[in-house]
Structure 1
Amino acid sequence: MTTNAKITAGSRLQAMAPDRQAFFLLRTVFTVAPILFGLDKFTNILTDWTIYLAPVATSVVPVSAQTFMYIVGVVEIVAGIAVAVRPRFGSLLVAVWLLGIIVNLLVLGSFYDVALRDFGLLVGALALNRLSPAGSWRRHGK
């Protein structure tokens, strides 16, 4: 990308209305983060995800904790793609998913700091939902 192209792209972002900038930033984060965290459920590079799983989860869904995390990974990847393609729907999917994670952490009885962080993310996902009304930004020319 040439210097002029970079300046033009940066100028376009700065010229956007603040609500559109917020929409763009939130949609980007809620697309990339779930996909990356979902992929990591298969590699456990960032952490051993099974330590965050309440034992009751594997009694409800009778699979090993790691298999449960593989399912979680697929759901997270799908949620990230949904945010990219249909942000109004995808943001609600992510919010509900985060609520499930919060409940799991509270049932586990530890990682309250992570539950609080995820509550903040849930609020961000709801904000994305409010910024992406029935149509897309492209359709309304905003």
Structure 2
Amino acid sequence: MAFADAMHDMREEMHDLTHITHVDAARQAYVALWGSFVVVPLLFGIDKFAGFLGVKWDGYLANWVHTILPGSDARAVMMLGVVEILLACAVALKPRVGGDLSAFYLVLAAFSAFALGGGGMVVLGVMFFAAAVCALAMARLSTTYHRS
């Protein structure tokens, strides 16, 4: 029954995406955030294996990440790719929990960017924090706009 409820909820969200101008503003915000927090982590997670975006992901790992995750840089990147794919699935099926977990992951990513230093990385860290706030907002909105 939980799978049927999840499919029904996703059908509602997809319907709202196709008829976005006929939906109230708060629902539009929720659907936009929900869609973003499903698609972007899924895309980046798959790219950590496939490399189709052309990003050298191991350059974004701070030294403290190397001490936590065992193995080589490539293995650590793949582990993070799995985490991102799981986060996308969690947001798709249980946005309240998935949003909170995504926010936690994004805060860790921000700390990693700050640890790498440099002007560009500090800006990236601030963007990660902003995305974490958006993930929390999506999780909060899901209590109103998501059934399961």
Supply the distance in 1 between the matched residues of 2:85 and 2:62 (Cα, whole angstroms): 21
8 Å contact from structure 2 (residues 48, 77) kept in 1: yes
- 1:137 match: 146
8 Å contact from structure 2 (residues 16, 23) kept in 1: no
- Give the alignment's TM-score, normalised by structure 1: 0.83
Supply the distance in 2 between the matched residues of 1:128 and 1:36 (Cα, whole angstroms): 19
Structure 1 unaligned blocks of 5 or more: 1-7
Structure 2 unaligned blocks of 5 or more: 1-14
Q: Tell me, what secondary structure is at the counterpart of 2:98?
A: helix
- 2:10 match: none
Deviation at 1:132, TM superposition (A): 1.1
Q: Are 1:70 and 2:78 matched, yes or no?
A: yes
Deviation at 1:59, TM superposition (A): 2.2
Q: How many residues align?
A: 131
Q: Are 1:90 and 2:98 matched, yes or no?
A: yes
Max radius of gyration: which structure? Answer: 1
- 2:125 match: 115
Identity across matched positions, percent: 34
Q: Given the superposition, is the C-alpha separation of residues 21 and 63 from structure 1 closer, same or farther in structure 2, using an over 3 Å criterion? A: same
- 2:31 match: 24
- Give the alignment's TM-score, normalised by structure 2: 0.80
Supply the distance in 2 between the matched residues of 1:82 and 1:74 (Cα, whole angstroms): 12
Supply the distance in 1 between the matched residues of 2:35 and 2:113 (Cα, whole angstroms): 26
The alignment's C-alpha RMSD in Å is 2.1
8 Å contact from structure 2 (residues 30, 145) kept in 1: no
Q: Given the superposition, is the C-alpha separation of residues 16 and 117 from structure 1 closer, same or farther in structure 2, using an over 3 Å criterion? A: same
Deviation at 1:31, TM superposition (A): 0.3
8 Å contact from structure 2 (residues 110, 128) kept in 1: yes
Q: Tell me, what secondary structure is at the counterpart of 1:132?
A: helix
Q: Tell me, what secondary structure is at the counterpart of 1:83?
A: helix
Q: Given the superposition, is the C-alpha separation of residues 129 and 73 from structure 1 closer, same or farther in structure 2, using an over 3 Å criterion? A: same
Among 39, 42, 46, the alignment partner of 1:39 is: 46
